[in-house]
Each structure stands twice: as structure tokens, then as C-alpha cells.
Amino acid sequence: MADDPENTLYQDKPRVKDYMTRDVATVSPDDTVLEVSKRIADSDAHSGFPVCDGRHVEGFISARDLLLAENSDPIFKVMTQDIIVAHPEMKITDAARVILRSGIQRLPVVDDAGNLVGIISNADVIRSQIERATPEKVGKLQQTLESIHGVGTSEERRTVKLADLTPTQTKVYTDELEGRSYELENGLAEPLVVIDNGGQLLLADGHHRVKAADRLDIEEMDAYVIVLDERVSLGMAETARKSNLNSISDIQEVDYAHHPLVETTKRLQEPE
């Protein structure tokens, strides 16, 4: 089944595959500590390498791992085996969250088979934010709704009650709620984007903000409201119905480590 354009509008965000480095220097598990130490010493760009058997990621070796090792030791004896890796389809914002919370500067990127396809760094994440032009969310959504459903729309600026909103996203990330709470407490939060479909108020953008507001006992928020001239059948409304999303309390909070596209090499190596 083809993706619903009105739902994918807000899901169509930069992915790890769009900004990762694809040509990645690696070392073999059978290389010696001395060999890898020389490679690190001779390089201005590398303080460590993914360890790969062919293209399959087995671990990561850093300069710190080499400090107390014998020169003749094979890398597989001293490498870090249980490392965090990302998936190429992971959103760049989620990769940024992992990098920030874990303190890791570079994440190996692996496909579904555990094979190395690239590496994403904190510098790549910063570049993605600098290069990406901020979309006019409201205008884009209006155009999409008008094009798909042939319905007229108008835009209003309103204060909406959070209790009246129907979410269209099933989960938010707990660590991001801290930043959204700070923004709300200091008057820095962006307005929500809401669709008024015949009186049903569908939350199109701002799920982290409303969840943070709910934590702070905030009952109303500023919003851009797109009002449809007539009630139509919206894909995001059907998504909400199928996911049993009726109120803010139905949005699940998850930790970044449980993101479906975050794995560790240890899990990747476990037999099915």
C-alpha cells in the first residue's frame, strides 16, 4: 500500500543515509594492536575504527582500548564488542539524540544484516541542521490537503485546549520532553499545527510539546489551525482511530535506547 501523503508530510525528514559518510575506514579483528596503533598515530581524522569481518560489524576499537594492550594482541581481544549502531533509515534527529545522550561522537551505520554501510558523526548531524531549509509547515500542509482532497482551507491563529486535541502520533521520546519543557517554561515554544476537520481538532505537529505541556499542567497552547471548508476523510484521522489515539494521555513515552532502528552489535550477533 502506498504511503498516505498527508501522513508522510511530517515523517519525510532527513535520514541517517542522507548525511552519513559511506566510505568508512575499518580494521580487521585479526589486525594487531601495533598495526592499528600506527594507523591511528598516522591519521589526523581517526581516533578509532569500526572492526569488521568483511563488511559485518564486530565491534569498535579506540585509542583508549589500545593503551594497556600488548602490541601483538589481535584486535578482537581488546575491541569493544557491545557498541551502539544506527540504521540508515533512522531519522537524523533520532541519531542526534543517541549521540547527545550516549556521548558517542560517531555511530557506525549498519543494514538489517549487520553489515557496515556508513558512519554518522556529530559533525554530520550539525551539518544536516545547517543545510536543511526550515519548511513552511502550515503552507505545505494546506497545499497537500487541498491537492489530495480538493477542499478549500483557511488558516487561523488560535489558543486551543489540549483536552480537545486528537493526536496522530503514537509515541514521543522522553529525553526530548526535557527540552520542550524548558521552552514552554521560558516562552520559547513554537505554536502547534492543528487541522480543524469539521470540529475534530487533529494535532499535525507538536506532539512532544503537548506531552511536555501536559506534564506541566498547561491546559491551553497557541496553534496555527488549518480549517477545512468541509469535513473530509483524512488519513491521519484514520491512523488515530486505528491506534486508539483519543487524547494526549494515549501518546506513549519511550527512551531513545528503545528506538526500533537502534541496535547494538551484541544483539545483532545473537542467533535467532
Residue 89 has a CB neighbour count (10 Å cut-off) of: 13
C-alpha cell at 4: 498516505
CATH architecture label of 137-257: Alpha-Beta Complex (3.90)
- Give me the CATH code for the 5-130 domain, please: 3.10.580.10
Task: Give residue-wise pLDDT tens across range 133-172.
Answer: 444 678 888 999 999 999 999 999 999 999 999 999 999 9
Cα separation, 224 vs 194, in Å, equals: 6
Cα separation, 59 vs 74, in Å, equals: 13
Task: Give, in order, the Cα–Cα distances in Å from 128 to each of 14, 17, 35, 198, 228.
Answer: 8, 11, 34, 38, 34
- Look over the chain and give the mean of its residue pLDDT values, rounded to a whole number: 86
Same fold for the domain at 5-130 and the one at 137-257?
no
Task: Give residue-wise pLDDT tens across range 65-111.
Answer: 999 899 999 999 999 998 999 999 999 888 888 888 888 888 999 99
Does 127 score more than 80 pLDDT? Answer: no
Q: What is the mean pLDDT of residues 22-46?
A: 92
Q: Per-domain residue ranges for the chain?
A: 5-130, 137-257
Confidence of residue 56 (pLDDT cuts 50, 70, 90): very high
Decide the pairing of beta strands 192-197 and 220-228. parallel
What pLDDT was estimated at residue 133? 41
Cα separation, 215 vs 210, in Å, equals: 9
DSSP codes joined into one string, 67-107? TTS-TTSBHHHHSB-S-EEB-TTSBHHHHHHHHHHH--SEE
